[in-house]
Structure 1
């Protein structure tokens, strides 16, 4: 049997390599909008983050998402990510 290759991505918070499916994708579209990509298939420059508050706080502190997306990220996007993380943790 042939085993499939599992795509790996690096978290912008903790900098660990994990499976693409385990992570949350944040994208910057061609119109410079920042949004969360739940499907993982939208067009745009993507950055990945683990679904934990600790990784999000680390990414905010180190500006990891801003570096990966090559643009400033508004507070609204960070609030959306925090809401999504709090729903996952429950």
Structure 2
């Protein structure tokens, strides 16, 4: 099967979609959530620089044509801290 490539909304890097976090604006409810749901999607690298730029410049909101709640950004920062903590423990 052909691999699925996506582009980060911050750094514009193209990679397999499994390498990114997916943020979705759900079709019916227009709510913004992480990882699952049918609707408009945006992808972002799990890196500090990409998350900072996305939040500061409202790249997620513009890409999804929706208001991104502050709680979603908090969840992404927590997820980033966890993944950084795990990768530093494994090395």
Q: Report the TM-score when normalising by structure 1.
A: 0.85
- Cross-structure match for 2:81: 86
- Higher normalized contact order (CA 8 Å, seq sep 6+, divided by chain length): 1
Partner SS, residue 32 of structure 1: coil
Q: How does 1:44-83 map to 2 (within 5 A)?
A: 44-83=39-78
Contact 1:53 1:86 in 2 (8 A): no
**Segments of 4+ moved more than 3 angstroms:** none
Shift of residue 19 of structure 1? 1.0
Please, which runs of 5 or more residues in structure 2 have no aligned partner?
Answer: 86-91
Q: CA deviation at 1:57?
A: 0.3
Root mean square deviation, CA, Å: 1.2
TM-score (norm 2): 0.84
Gaps of 5+ in 1: none
How far apart, CA to CA, are the structure 1 residues paired with 2:40 and 2:84? 27
Task: State the number of aligned residues.
Answer: 84
Higher-helix-fraction structure: 2
